[in-house]
Amino acid sequence: MFFILAVAVPLLTAQRMTTEIAYSDFQKLVAARQVADLEVTPTRITGMLDMPGAASLLPASDAAAVNSNGEPWRFTTVRVADGHLADTLAAAGIRYSGGVDSAWPGVLLSWAVPLLAMFFVWNLLWQRTGGLQQYTKMGRGNGHILVQNETGITFDDIAGIDEAKAELRQIVAFLRDAERYRRLGGKIPKGVLIVGAPGTGKTLLAKAVAGEAGVPFYSVSGAGFVEMFVGVGAARVRDLFEQAQAEAPCIIFIDELDALGKVRGAGLTSGNDEREQTLNQLLIEMDGFSSSSGVIIMAATNRPETLDPALLRPGRFDRHIAIDRPDLNGRRQILAVHTRHVKLADDVDLNELASRMPGFVGADLANVVNEAALHAAEADKQAVDMSDFDEAIDRAMTGMERKSRVINAQEKITIAYHEAGHALVANSRKHCDPVKKVSIIPRGVAALGYTQQVPTEDRYVLRESELLDRLDALLGGRVAEELVFGDVSTGAENDLDRATAMVRHMVTRYGMSGRMGLATIGESMSQPVVAGFDGWRGASCSDDTARLVDEEIRRMLDEAHARVKATLSSQRATLERIARLLLEREVLDHEMLQHAIDGASKTFEQREQIEAKPAEADVDAGQDEASCSG
């Protein structure tokens, strides 16, 4: 910028102080001897005007442009071919000199100025991206150090994963008193790999270890190492371990390790891949430092099957800790942790809430507690009660209630019979989970209704008879539409997807097909996926076997359809009662559903009338029954 000003200011100043005059006026000035110090070039004549005498000889426009305070003023004119110019100047006694035309102003304007403008723009962008400082820090580790008072998390803040906490207490004890283990020749594991589904608390557990031990905590992301510049990731790994060695004892935590540690050799250009170079450097660094140095490496991933085997061998990640989805007792403990600072009403039962959320992980449970608190605050309640938790659970499972979605009468009837079919079949099957709630209120993006089943206990192994009962419950809605209307709708799409997937696993994975035998069809999901040149892993069975699999899937679905149709046909009156009650109430809890199934077809208001006027109520009930059946 300074250079631009240094060049431009003199040029502009010179342009402003120079007056262009006609050659004829120049001849008059020479005759009057009002010019001096001329420079004569082949094309131009430049000199000084002797003011104020020269002003009287110039036209009014030129005279107004020159200075009239008596000081000399610079002028220029285009030279005309005049063979007597030198003699005229000599006779007038005017001092002059020769010169050569210079091209540098034109060159400056045509080349230098655009280049300077480009330099100015580039410098502006350079400064916005961080400048040289950004590139000098590119190879440095980007881990953010968290010490104990920053994390504020201990094992008391974690519930539902007691086995994982017990495994990590040894790491905490080593960080607190390493000499206790060294004197007996013991070596603490170099690395700890935490494996679990998203939201199970992997990162929280690692922070709790640092909080318990009171040591620095380096938290980095696996994706943060890899950059567009080759070699940057490896440099960051080296710098991170250098910083950790200087701060030992400490913990290095690598979140989403699968972003960095995928199986090598899984692509066409994998040999020169920046990610693989970064992974190689990580392997070298983990081998390079001693287990007695006080640096513990912890990593978390939800895709352990994609990790390179070199990372998982002893000497690198020695200890693997699996965090499963919490069971009933674990969910209750997690809810107790998250509700410590929530004002709960007396009717809130954490055991019941935990039983209604099977498969929920810690993050899901925390979200339910927060949604319940928000719902209670919106209703201006003094405490969070069970109705708030009911709404939060429904929202977590099926999405937000869509009160604005307008459904016409025929569609509402179809949805009512569909959900009634699910509920009735699930209730009639011995191994199905009890139905907690049935609703025809739209929720989420695509759910027009839902039937909520709550298991009485956590199950990890299912028998074939239990799977078949669950299959029947999935097909209950579709068969109910077919039976009542003689036609089917598109509302059973998700049910059919889940039913087909269940049967396919029964045939190809669980050995529950007599024709297929004990063989499993398909590749094991526990093995890493290594793509070929076209990304295809190849067929896992012959065409005849694949055809047999399709036939078995179709046979099992057809048999389930026949069973469900027989059940609903024999209980058609019960199906009608449930659907009618759904159309009246829109939402049925377990008690209402049981009343409808047991034959109490009246609504609660009608039952109050029955108790007051039994005879009249029976007559009205018969008329209502007839109209609905029709």
The residues that are catalytic are: 419
Residue 424 and residue 432: Cα distance in Å, rounded? 11
Residues facing 39 on adjacent strands: 46, 97
Nearest to 399 by CA among 371, 358, 433: 371
The pair of three-digit structure tokens given for residue 471, joined into one six-digit string:
């299959």
Check: CB of residue 219 under 8 Å from CB of residue 143. yes
Tell whether the torsion through CA atoms of 564, 453, 374 and 151 is positive or negative.
negative
What DSSP line would sit under 298-364, residue for residue?
EEEES-GGGB-HHHHSTTTS-EEEEEPPP-HHHHHHHHHHHTTTS-B-TT--HHHHHHT-TT--HHH
Give residues with Cβ within 8 angstroms of 116, minimum separation 6.
3, 4
The pair of three-digit structure tokens given for residue 589, joined into one six-digit string:
């809890």
Residue 179 and residue 612: Cα distance in Å, rounded? 82
Whether omega for the bond prior to residue 72 falls within 30 degrees of 0, making it cis, is no
Decide: residue 599, CB within 10 A, 0-12 exposed, 13-18 middle, 19+ buried. Answer: exposed
Give residues with Cβ within 8 angstroms of 175, minimum separation 6.
209, 213, 215, 249, 251, 294, 296
Residue 130 and residue 477: Cα distance in Å, rounded? 60
Tell whether the torsion through CA atoms of 226, 227, 230 and 234 is positive or negative.
negative
Residue 46's H or E segment, with its range, is strand 44-49
**Other CB atoms within 10 A of residue 255 CB:** 19
The pair of three-digit structure tokens given for residue 411, joined into one six-digit string:
């569609």
Whether omega for the bond prior to residue 326 falls within 30 degrees of 0, making it cis, is no
Q: Specify the amino acid at residue 450.
A: Y
